[in-house]
Structure 1
Amino acid sequence: MKLKKLSLRVRIFLAMILLVLIASILIVAVTVYQYNEEALDYHRDRLDKKEENIKSSIDFTIKETTYPVTTENIPKIFKDKIYEIAAIHKLQVNLYDLEGGLLKSSRQSISNDTIAKCINAEILNTLANTAEHRHVTKYVENGKIIQSSYTYITDQKFKPLGILNLPYMEDDKFMDKELYDFLERLVYAYIFMMLIAVALAYLLSKYITKSLKTISDKINETRLEKRNKKIDIESSSEEIVTLVHSYNTMIDQLEESAVKLATSEREQAWREMAKQVAHEIKNPLTPMRLTVQNFQRKFDPQDPDIYKKVNEYSKTLIQQIDTMSSIASAFSNFAKMPAQEKETLNVVKIVKLGLDIFSEDYIMFTSEKEEIMAKFDRTQLIRVITNLVKNGIQAIPDEQEEKKIVVAVLDDHSNVIITVADNGQGITEANKQKIFEPKFTTKSSGMGLGLAMVKNIVETYNGSITFTSEKGKGTVFKVIFPKV
């Protein structure tokens, strides 16, 4: 399967697993390399310390000897002492003269295969020509790595007497066992870490692609004719945030276009309505004009049927006037312009009556009293309640799982308080100043007169309407009007 055909989620998952594998291999390689370096340092330092200690023992022996301190007397000086020194420091000790010839060895039996009878000329030149007069060689014997150090031994006046040779075998069995044990534990740790890495890679790849899936779903759901919801991602990568910002900007522009389109449609509807009203008014005006002209032309005070004709003319005019009055009443009801009619009523009962028309089971009603009396128009109070509740229903998105609208009636001494609270999407800061304006609406349909009509009704009865809203949490409308 080609890599480009894999989904982004699978590619992220595989990349993270591969990264963990590469990191594990690198850590193992670095661990082995570090072990080898530390082993070299360990053996070098150990040889240096043993050489320093053995030279101290040799210096002490030379100081305490009764033989004249000369190169020729070295075998006598260290006749038995060399074995003691070798046993104490657990290291073979070989002593050579300044020409490279073997003088004394801690080995009981000297074999040409194990101990050189003469030091190589190159080593002698190195000893003589270096500042520290020391040289270390390394060679393999019987599968073992052996370091062999050469350095001068001197008398008390620091005059060279001979050459000290210390063969040191690098025994890595213990360190190798430690390395193998460490690598074994490391493998178990890496297996456990790999399992965790697989789980984390799966979850992380799912988390990363979840934002992209959300954006994809939102783009597929975007429609011009409805209110589109913005994407809200609290924490994500810079690229995802940029993509979300671009989508939200597009939604704002789309909403502006939808509002302009809706406004244009409403304005067109108002123009059509104005034309229709003008046409309906002109219809009765024409017969009225003709009737008056006919009456003016045929009016004769001496006509014995004058009263009959006046009654006919008057009846015709009254009929046309009634027609115009009906048109005006219909337009008034359409524009929601209420007429003020006060009557004493139980606000609690009327509010319940207004809620009976709704079938939504998430609408709840509360009241601190069973009866709160006030003077208000029954029909207009029902209009106030139904419009506010309908506005709350429309404010809650259809896909929202938990929906709630709470209508409450409170008695505040001389005033009545009605609150309608919803848990919808709230009102934006930009729309809060326009919410009660006539013809303003955030919906693509409707004439935008609902809340304007409610405000008009409430203020007609010397009341007030206010609201508080929080984006994404809901809105609470509060209506206050006097009891009398």
Structure 2
Amino acid sequence: MKNRVILLVSLLSLAAGIYLLYSYRQPIESVSLTEVINKNVEQQLAIVEKEAVAFRNTDSTCNFYPKHRFPFFIYKNKTLICWTDNAVVPPVSLLSDKQSVQLVKIARGNFLLYQEPIGEGRQLMSLIVLTRDFPIQNDFLTNVWNTEILPSAKVNILEPFSNLGIPVSYKGNILFRLSFLQSDVAVNVNGNLWAVSLIFFAIIGFSIGLFSWLYRTQSLGRASILSATALIFTRIVLLQLNFPRAFSSSEIFSPQRFASSTLNPSLGDLLLNVLTILFVAIIIFRYWQKEGAGFKYKELSPLRLLLLVVASFLLFSIWHYPVQTLQTIMHNSSIEFAITSSLDTSLIRILSLVAILLTWTTAFLLNHIAINFLTGASGKHAHRILMMGTFLFGFVNYWEEQPYMATIIITWSVILIIQYVKFSRSLERIQYKTFGYFFLVLFGLVINVAVRLYYLDKEQHIENQVRFAESYLVDRDSFGEFLLNDLTPKIKQDVFIQTRLVSPFLSKLPIQQKIRQVYFSSYFNKYDINIQLFNSAGDNLTGYSSASFSDIIKSLDLNASRTEYEGLYRLSNKGKDVAQQYVLVIKIDRGVFVSGYILIELSLKRILPQNAYPELLVDNRFRESLKPNDLTYASFAMNRVQASAGDFNYERDFDKKMLGEPELYTTGVVSNGYQHYAVEGTDNVVIVVSSKLMTYKGFLANVSFYLILGLFLILLLVLWLGISNLIKRKQVFYAARIQLFITLSFFVPLLVVSIITLRMLNESSQSQLNNTYLNRAGFIAEQLEDFTNRKDSLSGSITNQEYVTELARLANAELTLYSSDGALQVTSQNSVFDNQLMAPIAHPLAMQKVRNGEKIFVLEDKIGNLSYFIAYASLGAGQSLLAIPYYQSAASIESVQIEALSEILVIFGIVFLLLLLFSFLISRWLTFPIEFITNTLQRTSLEHSNEPINWKSNDEIGLMVNSYNDMLRNLSESKLELERMQREQAWREIAQQVAHEIKNPLTPMKLTLQRMSRSLLQQDLNSEKISGSVNSLLEQVELLNTIASSFSSFAKMPTAVVGEVNIQKLIAQSMELYKHEIEIIHKNKDEQMLAKADPVILLSVFSNLILNAIQAKAEDREIKLTVETGIENAFYKIQFIDNGKGIEDEKLDKIFIPHFTTKETGSGLGLAIARQAVEQMGGSISFTSVIGQGSTFVILLPIA
């Protein structure tokens, strides 16, 4: 009934999942889709209107902003006076004197602009983003789209007056039009999630039902094989169907995040594969625990030897499995496993760690089976076979160029400890050794993973060093030169640029913006672009420099080389932070007259280590960003340092002799805790890139981190075993409970203290960083104020822009100045604003703080996915506001956190291991008295004298010992009295039974003799009567002799001589004796079974059981006996199953009592003798019986 319910629910779940999957993947009708989008727009605008109510009463000081979801802007007299966000600002040209909603295309995005008048000449505006495509795509900047409005990111938003697309309206007005591909909007993410979940639920339900049916109807071995096969087959089918990868948009199943092969096309698939292997391991483990224990080969044939060597190889492969999984993920993704590298807590990283924990669980289960199989089956040859497996494992991994030494050393260490302490038998019940077994295997797995992490970290550093060195040496961008030459005539012929350049009244900023946004393709996003404009006389119109056009051309002729393209120069003496530098000179003509000149400087940004700002502006499509932030480098010429960057001091700490070592250019050289790698460039320039190796503290931190993860895994495993034992009504050993509670009493407080300490350190480091930022901002503010005060005396020889740029270079910081009303004045780096990553206005909270009188402070800000801090300082009496962004601040804090966490983890790991050892000693000390007393109690018997316990203590244990000794004295007295009573009772029972047994034949003997006496008196005797009477008397005498022999056999039962016996051979001999009287079926007769028993007595027991089966024949069918053999725990199991008449319930508990019989004849001693004999051999005998169906007698004998 239960399986039917599971099957029905699974079928319904499967049907619902398939239906949802089909429904949500159907193309959505355009009309229906428009209705959905219209409704979404109305909901978003309703929220805006609701929030706008609170902003209508905002005063002119803008010191209070109510809570809001959308950015709001307040204009007064066409001037922006208040704002809540500085990412994008609506242009003032769109101001209207009435409430309206319209589409605006600004900042490379599509927005809905909501505005309404709020009195006193003020206008309230708000922006709702529809889509936004950043000009740069990298880890921090990714295209965004409003999922609450649009069903897909791949939509084309058109103007409302366009003839194409589907209109989206609000209150009767068309806001915009949409054109999209049907396939892009057919997938409903939530619908797919429900569908996939239902299908997985159905698969799990079917699996449970199948396994339940198999284990109920098949033998354990066959059910295990079929279950494992079904699991593997199901996983293969899912892989072939690309399920659920083809139906999920989650990053877990994204090949962009991870993909290694067709078996592991995504991290989600790898996790499913790991789970499948784990379930197969659980099936094998379950079978081994019930059927495999005690398995042993008597003789090692070549085939069996080969099997054992393969099993030994698999044992080492099992230990290598977690390491291989770790290596696979790290080689095919950017996921960090070392806690010393990143504190990322993303779902993708958590699931990767879960995958490692699952492989650990699999390794533990299969390791337990493999060690027991090898040591049990190969006996004294186990170590030799393990050595052969070691050589085979080493050869295979050497051939595949995979690391293997750590796995071999750790595996051997764990195996030897397990064999010495005998841990492998501690899983039958949670006991003291169980925790030791768990911790030993866990520690081995942790060390193996930590060692591999160390070498993988070293390997990744080499790869990053090679990439950086090669990027540093790039000297020519041929394709970029071609594109620059291609855009030159287009700029020359642009009428807007020609007109704007000659006008003395119009701003020149639109020229720069148009060149950046229209003529420069996304290919040039990797360059810093500086555009200078000159009039026909050569005067600079942009104010970047006081140098004239002719001076710049002269400088280019001297310091730059001309390319094959007209007006394009390539600078050879580029700065150390620049990989390539070009200058493009364009002469703008209007008719026959020269309108002016445009000079475009392009500097290829070198991605410097320890600097997040260039990474923010580098497009990953053109330059792979470097992940590590601990690279340093130097360029050498003639063994002298030309330029360097980073923390490593090449002048002092780098041995110049290493430049001549070949290893430096191939595998790298380790020196002073750094790994150095060099690449030789042109002109005898050598680039040396260095990275700091993982320290011993970092290694120990990783060990502690994975040890903590493993401890949580052990807690889950112990919880599962505890629940399992509770269901099976097995008690956990007292020593195990003490060990568990002591370990938890250490672990939990230590973990809590570590977390609190880490939090306090984080707060302290944040405060320290803030103070550093504030001090630096204060110093730079003083320099700027001093420059402002001295500006008049400098006779205009230096501009604000030039001074800020120079000061930023000297301070190694990015500086931005805002006016008192928050508008951008000067910045040392225009790229953030030119690429429209941020609007040219100050942070709204910064303006509030300035208005409130704060002079210097730190705020947190965000561009895309990059969070950072900005230090602000008010200059003078609030005339200007200095902003210094620390783009690497989040990375700096994380670095401090990693350092603090590493310290805590190392301390935690060392302290925990010491406390763990201490807890073992404590629990051993606490449980020793109990174990000692338990062993003494186990020896307490009525068969021999019992010695009292000598315990010199008056504690609770001493009181219990005294009670025990008193009990022994009472027991000794009771023993004597009991022996006397038992003897008397035994004699009474024997006398009664003997009298009863003898009386039965004596009665017919007496009657026969009386008949003969009467015949003699009557002289009626003849030879025939005499012969019949004598025969009758002889039969009764024979019966008396049989009775006497039975009693003699029971009284004189010999002591069993236990040796190694072939059970199958004895069963065959017994069957031979009775093959003409009963049909006997012998199952599993080919399995060799060597038990500890007495062959003579055991043959008698088997014969007695077969004879009993013959005598239990039912009247309605022929008697049939089946003999089955197998293994149960550490015993051989022999079952005698007959189809006789069975035994009545009221007689079941008397079967083994001497002299009790269910037959009309017999002494009732056969089964009593059988039980006595089997128990003497260290085994046991039991039975079950059903009236009308037959009986089953089960004998358990110890394995030899």
TM bin (shorter chain): 0.3 to 0.5
Question: How does the TM-score come out when normalised to structure 1?
Answer: 0.39
Q: Rg larger in 1 or in 2?
A: 1
